Chains A and B, each alone.
Chain A
């Protein structure tokens, strides 16, 4: 089934006033995917391959039926569930053989609260080390290095790594900043401008702290010029160091990633 056919099946199972659990958000990228489908009375479970994993989706207003159908989904599949904290149907998913692999929290901040002149001497150190011309925007020749680094450092299963054509588009839009030493990427910052929001997608640093700070701040300065008002990022909840360091505030949104 394609995504339109799946949506038709979901519509047939919707009932007025009945809340359903769902992890399917229609998007243009989904239109290219051919889904395997399991249909219940009040549940649709379906899965298909994206560039990095086989992902499972569902729409259900019957917890028991959801577990039964999820049990029939093959192994080596990934199930993402985005929701407000506390609204996860964890029991139903785990009873079907999935285990929680990682969870991410969405954090956000108003741009005018970032890059203010710090009061403490400690914070001032990094602030003063900012180099507005630090690093370079990636060019297409950097693509193999960027892809190699992303696959090595991040996890394709959970991190929704960008496909080659997406990275090319981001290079064109100047949304990838690199700091290279002898053709090695020492620091990388990938971000996306989404209207009034700056999405901080990937940060990697093998250089000193001021390098990544400069790349990130450089991107923020540019975003401000474009009228961007908010910045957000998804943080792995086990990444205590990043969570402690960030000024971004919890939005209450979570992305739970299960694997079977």
Chain B
């Protein structure tokens, strides 16, 4: 999970992602950021994320992002 927080921090350093339960609603991530997150997740976990999983609902919090990573073959420590 820490790895995911680090990715998020790198993309939007101005926000404390641990403070939010809904990154989209709170304006922490926009659609461009989501694509950047996907790209970083793919590189960090050595996976390919299915295009159909790239929807805002799957990126609202770290738990949801973990689910996307695991669904696409990644292992979360």
Contact = CB atoms under 8 A, between A and B. Distances in A.
A194 B39 contact: no
A194 B27 contact: yes
A6 B47 CA distance: 20
Interface in A8-35: 8, 10-11, 14-17, 19, 22, 24-27
Interface residues of B, number: 25
Query: Main secondary structure on chain B at its contact with chain A?
Result: loop
B1 interface: no
Given A19-B39, A196-B26, A110 B14 contact: yes
A230 interface: yes
Contacts of B42: 14, 16
B48 A27 contact: no
Interface string B33-56: 011000100110011101110111
A7 B51 contact: yes
B31 A27 contact: yes
Interface residues of A, number: 25
Interface of B: 14-15, 22, 24-28, 30-32, 34-35, 39, 42-43, 46-48, 50-52, 54-56
Interface of A: 4, 6-8, 10-11, 14-17, 19, 22, 24-27, 82, 108, 110, 194-197, 230, 253
